[in-house]
């Protein structure tokens, strides 16, 4: 059995995050020692690793909850898991496309900058008026 600190080290997840995952039900409530210290077994460590890897791949907590629910029923078809992964892939592709447009716009701003005075600065001009942009990148920060 691992303490929350040891679990944190083993999984590379901060202690407050582990507590949060317990609070929202992604991790089951920990067993407690006689001194009321949280104790975690191998199953909790594996589940936390699953959550961390899923977060690293950009899955939302709701998607992770769905995936965990599926993984708790191994006899089911994996079609639902495939669908969740496809949605995540689609989301990543959209973000990449927006980031490529953003990169292009930033490169264009920098190249067009005359490196003179701020009053003539193309970077300041473009940032002041979105109409000067060549791409629609308004939703990149979403």
Tens digit of each residue's pLDDT (9 = 90 or more) over 92-131: 999 999 999 889 888 887 887 767 777 767 777 777 777 7
Mean predicted confidence (pLDDT) in 29-35: 88
**Are residues 52 and 91 both part of a single domain?**
no
Choose among 97, 98, 99, 104: nearest CA to 126.
104
CA dist., res. 43 & res. 21, Å (int) = 14
How many domains, in total, are found in the chain? Answer: 2
The pLDDT, as a whole number, for residue 142 is 46
Q: How confident is the model at residue 135 (pLDDT cuts 50, 70, 90)?
A: low
Count of all residues that appear for the chain in the document: 142
Q: What is the CATH number of the domain that holds 50?
A: 1.10.1660.10
Q: Is residue 50, in this structure, part of any structural domain at all? A: yes
Compute CA distances 16 → 12, 21, 25, 72, 140, whole Å. 12, 9, 14, 25, 29
pTM over 0.85: no
What domain range includes position 110? 87-132
* Position 125 in a domain: yes
């Amino acid at each position: 059995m691992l303490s929350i600190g040891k679990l944190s080290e083993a999984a590379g997840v901060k202690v407050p995050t582990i507590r949060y995952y317990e609070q929202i039900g992604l991790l089951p409530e920990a067993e407690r020692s006689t001194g009321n210290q949280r104790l975690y077994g191998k199953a909790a460590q594996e589940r936390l690793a699953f959550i961390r890897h899923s977060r690293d791949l950009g899955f939302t907590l709701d998607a992770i909850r769905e995936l965990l629910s599926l993984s708790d029923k191994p006899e089911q078809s994996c079609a639902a898991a495939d669908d969740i992964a496809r949605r995540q892939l689609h989301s990543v592709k959209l973000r990449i496309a927006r980031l490529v447009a953003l990169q292009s716009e930033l490169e264009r701003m920098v190249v067009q900058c005359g490196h003179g005075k701020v009053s003539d600065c193309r970077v300041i001009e473009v940032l002041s008026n979105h109409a000067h942009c060549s791409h629609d990148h308004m939703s990149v920060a979403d």
